[in-house]
Each structure stands twice: as structure tokens, then as C-alpha cells.
Structure 1
């Protein structure tokens, strides 16, 4: 199953490049919302943003989770200058506001409904040529 998901991710990445969207542009589309978009109903933020940013779409499986960072893209680009961790990921030096969206329930077929959590976390990214191209996770600031 994991091999199939990896294969599909690679195919989608190739298709995205074919239509002119770079990996950095895709990262921005899927993960950066600065300033944070206001929606009529705050609890619908995830569904609204995931549809608006073409992360979810009719006929496609619901994405299990997605994180939107509410900081300027430049701050995420700056993370790429930080020393990578043992896994090769770079972390932002400061915590940033973000919305973590998690799929409700186990059904991955649309309509997709999500639970949103507002957090202040550091963001871990994979970088290529000095630009973030994958959000690898987040972690709470150390106390």
C-alpha cells in the first residue's frame, strides 16, 4: 500500500511539473495561507481551503491531513538556511501560527470533513535548491 502511495505521489509530481507548477509553487498552494484567509464559518476553514487550493476535489480521495502555515513564504524559505536534522529536514527557528487539518472519521471518499486545530509550532520542511518543497511535519516549541 505504501509503495502504491509513493508511486502515485511521484506520478502526481511529474504531472504537476508538466502543467507548469514547480514543486515550490505546489508547496505554497498546499501549505501557505498568509495572511490567514477568513471564512464565514471558522469550523469550515479546512474544507474551504482544501477545496479552494485544489488539494481535495470531487472524485479524488480525501487527503488524511494537511497543514496551512500563516506566515510569509519568506520565513519558510529562510528555514532552508538552517542546519538540517538527522533526517535531512530543516526547521523554522521560531514557532509560527498554523492550522492543522485532520480528516474526521475513517472514510476517505468525498465529501471530506476535517477537524481544525490552531497551533503555534515550528515547521519542518524538505528543501531543494534553497526552497521548501515538502512540509515534513511540525513540532511544539521546547519549554
Structure 2
């Protein structure tokens, strides 16, 4: 059963456009998730690094996770300097040539699942990420 007449072609075209938009949205959502989890620019001011980590982990919905690294640079610089700048590629992951200001948060103490304390440390390091179509989608480590 194939679509007949002009209405059938219009329906087919609309379906194709809808699928293309959904695919594009899904590809962008991994990048948006990366930004939501790791980007904080300009760096939020919560005093010392331990308090910064506690507040940011709560703000980003990462409560009581083992840890997270926050990158303090603009989205434009991150995009242009990591996945598209011919960084070192190892097992499909890219290590940036550029060093970025970071805050590295690790869980220090967990009191039940609702209240956790973090140890925060600031550093300037290269980052290793997984890229997809020129965009960072997964943070691997800092080096």
C-alpha cells in the first residue's frame, strides 16, 4: 500500500522531515547533557572549593554522585578547542591540546542518600572527552 496522489506525497514528506528533526534533536541532546553536567562559565561563586562542589552537585541534579568535573570556559571555546582542534586521539577519545580551568569534585562523605559532602580542588589541566560530530558528549578524565 503506497501513498497515492498529492496528499500521500505530502504525508510522506512530513514524516521524513519529522524523523530528521527527531534524529537531530537526539544527537544534540548528548551534547546538551554534557554542557549541563560539566560546564560552569563564569564559575559560580560559592566560596571555597568544597562548598562550590556541594552547591553545584545539588544545582546540577548530581546529588551524592561519586564525583564530577566542572569546566570553566565558554561553550564556544570548548567546542572550538576540544573536538575540532586535532587533539590527541586514544581509543576514540580526544585529549585537548589546550588546558582548561577546572573544579574537580569527589565525594568525601555520604550520610544517607540525601546529604553528601564533597572535596573540591581547582586545577588547570587538559581534558579527555568522547566527541560525536565535532561536539563533546562524554567527559572521560582530566590529564
Once the two structures are superposed, residues 57-94 of structure 1 have per-residue CA deviations (whole angstroms, 9 ceiling, x without a partner) of: xxxxx210100001112222221112452211112211
CA distance in 2, matches of 1:32, 1:80: 15
Partner of 2:51: 44
Matches within 5 A, 1:97-112: 97-105=101-109, 109-112=113-116
* More helix, by proportion: 2
Cα distance change on mapping 1:77 and 1:45 into 2, 3 Å: same
CA distance in 2 between partners of 1:111 and 1:45 (Å) = 15
- 2:36 is matched with which residue: 21, 29, 33? 29
Which has the larger share of strand?
2
Greater Rg, structure 1 or structure 2?
A: 2
Give how far 1:98 is off: 0.4
Unaligned runs of 5+ in 2: 1-24
Q: CA deviation at 1:41?
A: 5.2
Q: Given the two structures, how large is their TM-score scaled by the length of structure 2?
A: 0.72
**2:83 corresponds to:** 80
